[in-house]
Amino acid sequence: MSSVERSGTFRLGDLLVKRLGYGAMQLSGPGIFGPPRDRETALAVLRQAVSSGVNHIDTSDYYGPYITNQLIREALHPYPSDLVIVTKVGARRGEDASWLPASSPAELTQAVHDNLRNLSLDVLDVVNLRNMLGGEASMEAPLMVLADLQRQGLVRHIGLSNVNPAQIAEGRRICEIVCVQNQYNLAHRGDDALIDNLSGDRIAYVPFFPLGGFTRLQSSTLSGVAQSLGATPMQVALAWLLRRAPHVLLIPGTSSLAHLRENLAAAELDLPDEALKRLDGLTSLAAS
């Protein structure tokens, strides 16, 4: 059994994925903009992830833009039959590398077609609508566009990203939502109640920035637990997320083969009850 298989599985709609996946965002250039510094290593990371058992890759055409999807196509197409590629729409990049909303009907339709073309797919497995407009924004109009594209056979399943419970409830009145992708990790636990609520409805919860994002998690408690287990702090942080709930799916990203192997090995890490209690007790990594 590979490390990834030990993470378990969960369904995104009718698609069975291993709970430990891979996020492709970091494969593009600095600031998630432009080409990678080392294209051959980027391709090697993707191939190594899949050969290690990963069958859930998270991406978007606005990473780069277009870069990560083109790398995925070059590295992995024709794709393994069990590979699930999840992409996002609802944002675009400015010429200055800024992140801008892009949720008009024309922009969403173009984004779906761009993802299909750059990934060389006839249908997108899962499309997450990324909310760029804040907690008061309605999801109805953009989700209606995605639901129509789903009826056309271009999108298999729909998810939401960067949303609150009210927006999720609104979205579920429009179409089936198979996953929610929000920020969550040891230091950022605002979605604890939401995770518990989604569990009963068998909706996957996919934390972005599971290792802290652009600034990696740091804590004396985390480091102490890692040292006691002969693991790295990042492996412990991922193992904690895997223990959090069976519908939590992980997509840690990296552009390094060494870090990829380190991340995937987290599935083999057993957290003793005492270690879990210490980690659960962290309310702020900055203060620990």
Q: In this predicted structure, what is the pLDDT of residue 213?
A: 72
78 preceded by a cis bond (ω within 30 of 0): yes
Return the closest-CA partner of residue 206 out of 174, 241, 172, 237.
Answer: 241
Q: In this predicted structure, what is the pLDDT of residue 215?
A: 65
Q: In this predicted structure, what is the pLDDT of residue 182?
A: 98
| Residue found by looking up tokens 């590629």 in the block | 85
Cβ atoms of 158 and 176 closer than 8 Å = yes
227, containing H or E segment:
helix 220-229
pLDDT < 50 regions, the chain: 285-288
Q: In this predicted structure, what is the pLDDT of residue 283?
A: 63
The Cα–Cα gap between 203 and 13 comes to 8
Q: Residue 101 corresponds to which tokens in the numbers above?
A: 């909303």
35 preceded by a cis bond (ω within 30 of 0): no
Q: What does pTM read for this prediction?
A: 0.96
Catalytic residue numbers, as ranges = 63
What DSSP designation does 78 have? S
Reported as a single tens digit per residue, the pLDDT across 55-97 is: 999 999 999 999 999 999 999 999 999 999 999 999 999 999 9
Pairing of strands 204-205, 177-181: parallel
Give the type of residue at 176.
E
Q: In this predicted structure, what is the pLDDT of residue 218?
A: 80
